[in-house]
Amino acid sequence: MARKYFGTDGIRGATNRMPMTAEMAMKVGMAAGAHFVRGDHKHRVVIGKDTRLSGYMLENAMVAGFTSVGMDVVLVGPMPTPAVAMLTQSMRADLGVMISASHNPFADNGIKLFGPDGYKLSDADEEAIEALIDGDVPLAASAEIGRAKRIEDARGRYTHFAKASFPRDLTLDGLKIVIDCANGAAYQVAPSALWELGAEVIAIGTSPDGKNINDGVGSTAPQVLCETVVASCAHIGIALDGDADRLIVVDENGRVIDGDQLMATIATGWARRGRLNGGGLVATVMSNLGLERHLAEQGLGLVRTKVGDRHVLEAMRSRGYNVGGEQSGHIILSDYATTGDGLVAALQVLAELVRADAPASEVLHRFDPVPQILKNVRFDRTARPLEAASVIDVIASAEAELATGGRLVIRPSGTEPVIRVMAEGDDRGQVEAVVDRICEAVRAAA
């Protein structure tokens, strides 16, 4: 079924424009609350947010929506997305809400929903909520209207949870770590957790003003982190995104280490200690071929999914894997969390660094990525360029040319009218030529 409001990761858009208006946020609260009011117990929803200015508006609107259908609301303030998922479980809530647009600019915002098990909602739940948004939601009787309460110890609860994922026999004593919190949701909890584990912490991106989230800082803008690591002679740099479910690392030389390298580091380390489930890891079609080859050399497998952490998580749960993620740094470690958790993933990377007692540039560079080229081609929404015979022929020719020495991924974007054309292989010139040829064919057919 086509979605009207929900995308690949909740509802997202520019604030004060549909669907990110206060009115819509209230309707989502009413619809989601009505959908999850089941049984005769007192129902509860946990609401967290990142540091965007619009978070105040959307938070209050959602409180009105949830309380109007009889749900009590627990407000935890600025907290990472994985913290909201954890608290939803821990507090036996019926629903969890994270108000965030992740790595997007401050003018955007979004709504992510978690079920009582701490996992993102199923397609069926999202479709049921969409139907209620556009329908009539029964309101609670006057005596059954919900209450709202803000709890002050949520940061401490999550900090303790994250620290508990770090091996008890290790500390971060002697490590100088630069942490970039993107002026986002983890601006307090991430530096605190690292300091409490013994690290010397240099924190940047920890002065949110409502408008500077992800602005020149964070996992999508690591240049300041790279410069700070080198200038301060730090051992490693860690960058989170606006809602702290994504992680990018910088080694002591200021070189960026992406999610593929980090997943390889964690998976091979866990495999050595006999705690890697599934005999490998789960990643998307966008992860580098070098990762797949490296894992094969270690006797480990790679399961690929469509782009999106929800697809990664679905495959992990159905196949029994406990490590998965995306090249962008969205890493899911299901032994600890029900969604991507940048801080928990960072602590696992740091554990490998401590155990190896070697520079980050050696420990975290697990393989040489093969050349990978990605280009986007815009098209008219009414056109179907990938169904054109000319495009199909060019793609078939490219697949034959790359054969076993490379890989081709062509897919329409889920958020904008573009076709994404990605190819990778050992010969950069060949890869670039293949991508250009396909892009030209798509443009001609669009």
Q: Are 64 and 29 in contact (CB under 8 A)?
A: yes
Helix (H/G/I), strand (E/B), else coil: 23 = helix
C-alpha separations of 99 from 89, 92, 179, 220 in Å: 18, 20, 23, 19
Q: What sign results for the dihedral spanned by CA atoms 321, 322, 327, 331? A: positive
Pick the catalytic residue: 54, 100, 102, 328? Answer: 102
- Helix 81-90 to helix 154-164 angle (10° resolution) is 100
Give residue for tokens 């955007």.
108
At 142, which amino acid appears?
A: S
Write out the H or E segment, with its range, that includes residue 148.
strand 148-150
Give residue for tokens 């280490």.
257
C-alpha separations of 365 from 1, 149, 168, 259 in Å: 42, 46, 25, 11
Give residue for tokens 């929903």.
113
Among this protein's residues, is 102 annotated catalytic?
yes
- Helix 22-36 to helix 123-133 angle (10° resolution) is 120
Question: Which residues are the active-site residues?
Answer: 102
